[in-house]
Amino acid sequence: MSFQLEIVLRLLLASALAATVGYQRERAGKAAGLRTHVLIGMGAALFTIVSMYGFAGSAVDPSRVAAGVVAGVGFIGAGVIFHGMRSEGVAGLTTAACLWATAAIGLAAGAGLYLFAIVATLIAVIVLSLPKVKG
């Protein structure tokens, strides 16, 4: 398989896995749905690919780019939580965590860790499908 085809497949896998998580959130009526999750998963994968191959031979450490993705998505998640704040408490924690996990799935797919990305997606969808515990 050619290098460019493999890179395209990584982006498509990241997008498809993120869409799986985003579809569940969309069906649950959450603000961050399909499109948001796909963009975060695909973006994280692209940042990973660019850091791994676009700067090959330079002083750029790919792990620093991954750390930047985590921080950037954390900022988006903070915005989700801030937006969801209510007088009766905080809302949006699960959505923020879901966006963070979707970015990790995108990072894994972008790095070529396909099995880990797929298993993480399955875990995320299962966890999100569990009934909320009333307490």
Adjacent-strand bridge partners of 116: none
Q: What is the pTM of this model?
A: 0.89
Say if residue 109's pLDDT is above 80.
yes
Say if residue 39's pLDDT is above 90.
yes
Question: What pLDDT score was predicted for residue 63?
Answer: 76
Residue 89 backbone dihedrals phi, psi, to 5 degrees:
145, -170
- Under the banding of pLDDT at 50, 70 and 90, the label for residue 135 is low
Calculate the alpha carbon distances from 59 to 22, 49, 51, 55, 75 in Å.
Answer: 35, 16, 11, 8, 26
Say if residue 73's pLDDT is above 80.
yes
Question: What pLDDT score was predicted for residue 80?
Answer: 78
Question: What pLDDT score was predicted for residue 87?
Answer: 61
